Amino acid sequence: MVLLISCLPRSSHLLRRAVIMRPLTLDVLNQQLQEVQYAVRGELAIKAELYREQLKSGSQSLPFDKVISSNIGNPQQKGLDQPPITFTRQVAALSEWPALAELAPGVFPPDVVARAKELYDEIGSIGAYSHSQGVPFIRKNVAKFISDRDGFPADPDNIFLTAGASAGVSLLINMLITDPSAGILIPIPQYPLYTAALAQHHGRAIPYYLDESRGWSTSVASIEAGLAQARKDGTSPKALVIINPGNPTGALLTRDTMADLVKLCEEHSLVLLADEVYQNNLHRAAEHPFTSFKKVVRELQSPIPLVSFHSISKGVSGECGRRGGYFELTNISAEVRALVYKLVSVGLCPPLSGQIGVDSMVRPPKEGEPSFALWKKETDTIHAALASRTQLMAARLNALPGVSCVESPGALYLFPKIDIPSKAVEAAVAAGKEPDAFYALALLDDTGICTVPGSGFGQKEGEWHYRLTCLCPGVEDYVGKLERFHLKFTEKWA
Ligand SMILES: Cc1ncc(COP(=O)(O)O)c(C=O)c1O
């Protein structure tokens, strides 16, 4: 709406047309975005941040003296104790400032200096844009990592470096959702990136349920049930998402199940989106090893289109903030790959610091090299700490009345099931909250421990869970607080 303001002096520069602009309100924005939910950074995380600020300002009014961030798999977050891998950071430091190698002689081991020089010769300054698909030399190293892992060749042209796995997942979901009736099969419980990206791109989530009574296993039957329901709902299934090892469950697929899933994708013409960001977080690798879908697809000589995601955020590197990852395309035509390339090129390139992080992840020091001993010690310590915390926490949670917890063989989390007394369920409903969110909020208010309610990941009707990470130090103290809270809550609402 445009008005002429007649009371202004008649001097020409002041006589302006005043535009009364319509303010920017939610109703004029993309309505689909209102549907996006992301529990990992939701109400609890926001409240935890407020508590943290309150404690920092010296407040004595809270019943705890620190906030414990058990809500997100962010291993290097302040307050958690996973240190960065020295090799990764030394290569990063010299990539940021190549002159440092000469300014600080003797500080960096010779293999780090050589690695940084090699990267510099390939990349130049990391302040420049790179190839949109990622630095060709780093993609070659990723391809070698994949072929060494699987025993099948990988083509650097099929590898796209990304700003974390999230960027790749979101891109693929965007490409697959052709119209609002298109859907993607999502495990329940799932990592909420998938439902959030689907909501954003106006697609439908087709849930299939993991079986908690069998260690959160994935079954073809439950996916078939999801597909049957989708057909009834008029949803056209485009792809199957598998998270292996699982988040929030930590479950690992067996080779046989993977083969069945590949066959199912063949039968139903589904693209397989294999989220394998936790492939290096294995707590009992002898009993529960990781096998990639790429390997299974190649062994079966299957033609299914497969997109496999990996990241530097997890594993032992835990470099979440650096935003590095990649996806590999398998059985995908040059035409489709060219479209992927066109779309990633709109974003110019993934962050160079993330790309260098990927290079360090896929090319760690080798035995006999100067950095190997320290790298081995650091990575062994991280693996051992995660495995022992996971085991201890699961055992202690399982000993609590009304709690059962699958001891995850992989990833960074536990996802215990909790009985919530009916009076607490009623109080939650009255407060407009999911009962597990009510429980998790009470846990945060009482202990400072921030978790994510199961309702943020999806669960069977009438069941309640919460997810906690196995990354927090001082595990005895932390689990003790969880135990005392659970008993108090159960007693209060009995
Ligand atoms: C299963 C899964 N996939 C993808 C991601 C995204 O990771 P990033 O974007 O940091 O690589 C996460 C992060 O927690 C995850 O748990």
Query: Do 193 and 169 form a contact (C-beta atoms < 8 A)?
Result: yes
pLDDT at residue 493, as a whole number: 93
Phi, psi of 413 (to 5 degrees): -135, 165
Exposure of 23 by Cβ count < 10 A (0-12 exposed, 13-18 middle, 19+ buried)?
Answer: exposed
- What pLDDT score was predicted for residue 405? 95
Give the residue, out of 313, 358, 471, with the most ligand 1 atoms within 8 A of its beta carbon, to mutate for a pocket test: 313
Total Cβ atoms within 10 A of residue 53? 11
Residue 408: closest CA among 484, 474, 471, 453: 471
| Alpha-carbon span 443 to 450, nearest angstrom | 8
370 preceded by cis ω (within 30°)? no
Is the Cβ atom of 416 under 6 angstroms away from ligand 1?
no
Ligand 1 proximity of 490 Cβ (cutoff 6 Å)? no
Going from the C-alpha of 367 to that of each of 56, 117, 338, 370, the distances in angstroms are: 45, 20, 39, 8
Q: For ligand 1, what atom is nearest to the CA of residue 166?
A: 9
- Give the Å distance between the CA of 312 and the centre of ligand 1: 9
Angle, helices 435-447/475-492, rounded to nearest 10 degrees: 120
Q: For 53-139, where are the E strands, in sequence order?
A: 68-69
Phi, psi of 414 (to 5 degrees): -125, 150
Of 256, 323, 242, 253, whose CA–CA distance to 282 is shortest? 253
d(CA 187, CA 48): 28
C-alpha–C-alpha distance, residues 161 and 143, integer Å: 11
**Ligand 1 pocket: which of 277, 281, 327 to mutate (most atoms <8 Å of CB)?**
277
- Paired with 209 in beta bridges are 188
Pick from 40, 37, 38: nearest CA to 71: 40
Return the pLDDT at 9.
52
424 CA distance to ligand 1 middle (Å):
33
Q: Is the CB of 277 under 6 A from ligand 1?
A: yes
Domains and CATH numbers, the chain: 34-82+375-492 (3.90.1150.10), 129-362 (3.40.640.10)
- The pLDDT averaged over each successive group of 10 residues in the chain (494 residues) is 45 59 83 73 87 91 91 86 93 96 92 97 94 97 98 98 96 94 94 90 94 94 96 96 96 96 97 98 91 98 98 94 97 96 92 97 97 97 94 94 93 94 95 93 95 90 92 85 95 92
Helix (H) or strand (E) holding 206: strand 204-209
Torsion angle, CA of 320/323/324/327, rounded to 10 degrees? Answer: 100
Hey, is 417 helix, strand or coil?
Answer: strand
Cα-based torsion angle of the residue sequence 198, 202, 204, 209 in order, rounded to the nearest 10 degrees? 20
Residue 164 CA: which ligand 1 atom is closest? 11
3-state secondary structure of 229: helix
| Whole-number Å distance between alpha carbons of 440 and 486 | 10
340 Cα to the center of ligand 1, angstroms: 20
Which residues 6+ apart lie within 8 Å of 29 measured at CB?
none
